[in-house]
Structure 1
Amino acid sequence: MSAATTALSPPKPLRGRRVGAKRRSGSILGLVAWICGLVFFLPFAWMLLTSLHSESDAATNPPSVSAGLTLQGYREFFGASTGVSPWPPLINSLTASLVSTLLVLLLAIPAAYALSIKPVRKWTDVMFFFLSTKMLPAVAGLLPVYLIAKNAGMLDNISLLVILYTSMNLPIAVWMMRSFLAEVPTEILEAASIDGAGLLTILSRIVAPVAAPGIAATALISFIFSWNELLFARVLTGVVAGTAPVFLTGFVTSQGLFLAKVCAAAICVSLPVLIAGFAAQDKLVQGLSLGAVK
């Protein structure tokens, strides 16, 4: 080792202290992350425990943690005493969420491609227009949408929810997909164009595989927003096209609030979103972190 290299290298005790400091800071950050995760998970765990209690045990103040467990709340959710099945609302929510998410992806990917890889003129104005559509409160557009749906004969129709959810989630999907597609190397696209690949071939065989984490993140966000939407589904649907959140509000009646039954219903309604998030968690984290580090 030369004298110049030795002079530039920090002493070994100093390097050891730096490594130790990095390890301690990493341990502290890991502990903080675990604490934050437990804090966010605690309400769900408490709701799950309450759903497994009887109504008398769930209504105690403070709630009894050591009370006996029962599945009566889940039996009530599936209509053990009322005979009302939750499957039609669940199927309606699943249909509206999946179809609208598919339409959002089919529309957002080409739009994001035009705004990022093949930028259109004044693309910033286009992006601002998409963002401005999210500034209007949903309740402000409720009456016009209701009147249009009534005149078109589309009240209590699942197709109306698909159209609404697609239009509501499309702006945020375009914003997300543009940031993801901006990370796609343009050299690959130029090589494909030279080889004679068309737009559809480039989007399906090159852009989609490279931006798969971003597409998965966008799809999951759109699915969650569609599944959880309540305002328009509550006003624009009835018996035929009622969704799972609307069905969930029916458990709060004038007879009182039955905590065990409501918690069991909330667990069942939120289960598809939890399963989708758990199945795509690696893609979601990878997709949401694209573009964070340059």
Structure 2
Amino acid sequence: MTTTAATPVTPPTATTRSKPGRSSGSKAGSAFAGIAAWIIGLIFVLPVAWMILTSFHSEAQAGAQRPQVFAPLTLENYDKFFGSTGINPWPPLINSATASIISTLIVLCLAIPAAYALSVKPVRKWTDVMFFFLSTKMLPAVAGLLPIYIIAQNIGLLDNIWFLILLYTAMNLPIAIWMMRSFLADIPPALFEAASLDGAGLLLTLRRVVAPIAAPGIAATALICFIFSWNELLFAKSLTGTVAGTAPVFLTGFVTSQGLFLAQVSAAATIVSLPVLIAGFAAQDKLVQGLSLGAVK
């Protein structure tokens, strides 16, 4: 009877440990990146925080040569903003909200089908079409101010909120198409083929396939268009008056021949900035996801 010799078992090799120098270097790099991120964040947040703090100070304290950080707080400026001095801020705020919301909705209704045609069902020479959209942003806005003013005057649409809506739609549509195309190009083509095999038309495909998947991109596009429309000043200042004036135009009224009322301007700017800040915080997760959706391949 023969016995088989046992085969010696080779012990597993120990895993290679990371070098202490490399580990400490990566920790130091992470710490440096974190400190740099905090510094950059504070640089951007500090002016906004100072504006809010100044809005709770009196005019004498706000205009002092030395910063009055610990000065007594007051609501006098907000009381003046909301009409105690005879100035009604609600019409400009309502005009800004009307122009921004309606123009953003129109832009989305036009940009999503256009981006679908340029990405999922590409037309001939679609690159030329995209360059044409981009070329419309190359002309400075001030260069087109005079002809636009003459057109508005001839057709009787000066100081008209609907003319501002039309302008904001035309201004935001090219960037919206570019953003939406990058989002839709990342959707797997198999989903559109499956929808087509099931007999879905264009509107049903956009509603049932595109809208749920590209929701972060749509939210990011809508938020950017809303911010651009809300903050626009050049055309609103030149084409409106007492009826269709927007919130940025209303802010310029605090700069008078008597000087700059810094505390009142800070209170007014804080109120005017709230809709944008609220929209940004409410959609910040979708905004980050949407802005990175078209960039990550």
TM range (shorter): over 0.9
* Match for residue 261 of structure 2 among 236, 255, 258: 258
1:64 is aligned to 2:68:
yes
Q: Distance in 1 between matches of 2:90 and 2:277?
A: 18
Gap runs ≥5 in structure 1: none
* Match for residue 12 of structure 1 among 14, 17, 30: 17
Q: Deviations over 1:223-280 (max 9, x none)?
A: 0000000011111111111100001100100011111001101111111111111111
Look up the SS of the partner of 1:153 in the other structure.
Answer: coil
Instruction: Supply the AA of the counterpart residue of 1:12.
Output: R
Report the alpha carbon displacement of residue 29 of structure 1 after superposing the two structures with TM.
Answer: 1.9
* Match for residue 51 of structure 1 among 49, 55, 58: 55
1:92 is aligned to 2:79:
no
1:220 is aligned to 2:223:
yes
Q: Distance in 2 between matches of 1:51 and 1:147?
A: 39
Q: Deviations over 1:16-67 (max 9, x none)?
A: 6655544443333222212211110000000111110001111111121111
Q: Distance in 1 between matches of 2:155 and 2:198?
A: 48
* Match for residue 244 of structure 2 among 231, 241, 245: 241
Q: Distance in 2 between matches of 1:189 and 1:23?
A: 46
Decide whether aligned partners of structure 1 residues 121 and 133 sit closer, same or farther in structure 2, where only a CA change above 3 A counts.
same
TM-score in terms of structure 2 length: 0.93
Equivalence for 1:134: 137
Equivalence for 2:128: 125
Q: Distance in 2 between matches of 1:183 and 1:18?
A: 37
Gap runs ≥5 in structure 2: 1-8
Q: Distance in 2 between matches of 1:53 and 1:273?
A: 24
Q: Distance in 1 between matches of 2:146 and 2:294?
A: 39
Q: Distance in 2 between matches of 1:20 and 1:221?
A: 41
1:287 is aligned to 2:290:
yes
Look up the SS of the partner of 1:78 in the other structure.
Answer: helix
Look up the SS of the partner of 1:79 in the other structure.
Answer: helix
Equivalence for 2:6: none
Q: Deviations over 1:68-93 (max 9, x none)?
A: 00011111111212x11100000000
* Match for residue 152 of structure 2 among 149, 162, 168: 149
Report the alpha carbon displacement of residue 162 of structure 1 after superposing the two structures with TM.
Answer: 0.4
Report the alpha carbon displacement of residue 293 of structure 1 after superposing the two structures with TM.
Answer: 2.4
Report the alpha carbon displacement of residue 114 of structure 1 after superposing the two structures with TM.
Answer: 0.7
Q: Distance in 1 between matches of 2:162 and 2:151?
A: 14
Instruction: Supply the AA of the counterpart residue of 2:57.
Output: H
TM-score in terms of structure 1 length: 0.94
Look up the SS of the partner of 2:68 in the other structure.
Answer: coil
Decide whether aligned partners of structure 1 residues 117 and 68 sit closer, same or farther in structure 2, where only a CA change above 3 A counts.
same
Q: Distance in 2 between matches of 1:272 and 1:132?
A: 31
- What value does the CA root-mean-square deviation take over the aligned residues? 1.7
Instruction: Supply the AA of the counterpart residue of 1:11.
Output: T
Look up the SS of the partner of 1:69 in the other structure.
Answer: coil
Q: Deviations over 1:177-203 (max 9, x none)?
A: 111111111111111110111110110
1:272 is aligned to 2:275:
yes
Q: Distance in 2 between matches of 1:104 and 1:10?
A: 57
1:208 is aligned to 2:214:
no
1:26 is aligned to 2:30:
yes
Q: How many residues align?
A: 289
Q: Distance in 1 between matches of 2:241 and 2:18?
A: 72
* Match for residue 103 of structure 1 among 85, 97, 106: 106
Q: Deviations over 1:112-167 (max 9, x none)?
A: 11111111111110010000000111111111111111111111111000000000
Equivalence for 2:193: 190
* Identity in percent: 71
* Match for residue 169 of structure 2 among 166, 170, 194: 166
Larger of the two Rg values belongs to structure:
2
